[in-house]
Amino acid sequence: MRYLVLLKASRASTPPPPDLMAAIMKLGEDATRSGALVDTAGLLPSAAGATVTLHDGKIDVTDGPFAEAKEMISYAIYDVRAKEEAVEWTNRFMKLHRDLWPSWAGEAVVLQVM
């Protein structure tokens, strides 16, 4: 089963600590080596994006940025046996942030791909 993990956070005013980036790279290598991690990447700020909405038969396109305080900043796609595995990989990723960048706050949404 494939799962999409979307990481949402406010854009940080400082870059992530080098120790965190090294730990994230190691975690990504571990997840890839295990066969769980399919793809991952950062996302540009919403100012570079757009929304396309359909309402009452009318399609509207609105360029970013968007008003949300938290933006989607990255994604990962996992191919695992169960949701619990995707949640576990995501938990490990979030623990790295907690331990190595204590001032950072964000959330990850884990969704199964149909």
Residue among 90, 71, 72, 73 at smallest CA distance from 3: 90
Domains of the chain plus CATH, in order, are 2-112 (3.30.70.1060)
User: One-letter amino acid identity for 37?
Assistant: L
d(CA 3, CA 71): 19
Tell me what pLDDT residue 13 has. 82
Tell me what pLDDT residue 53 has. 96
Instruction: Give the pair of three-digit tokens for residue 87.
Output: 């949640």
pLDDT 10s digits, 64-109: 998 877 899 999 999 999 999 999 999 999 999 999 999 999 999 9
DSSP E strand boundaries for the chain: 2-9, 37-42, 50-55, 58-63, 71-79, 106-112
Tell me what pLDDT residue 8 has. 95
**Which residues share a beta bridge with 4?**
77, 111
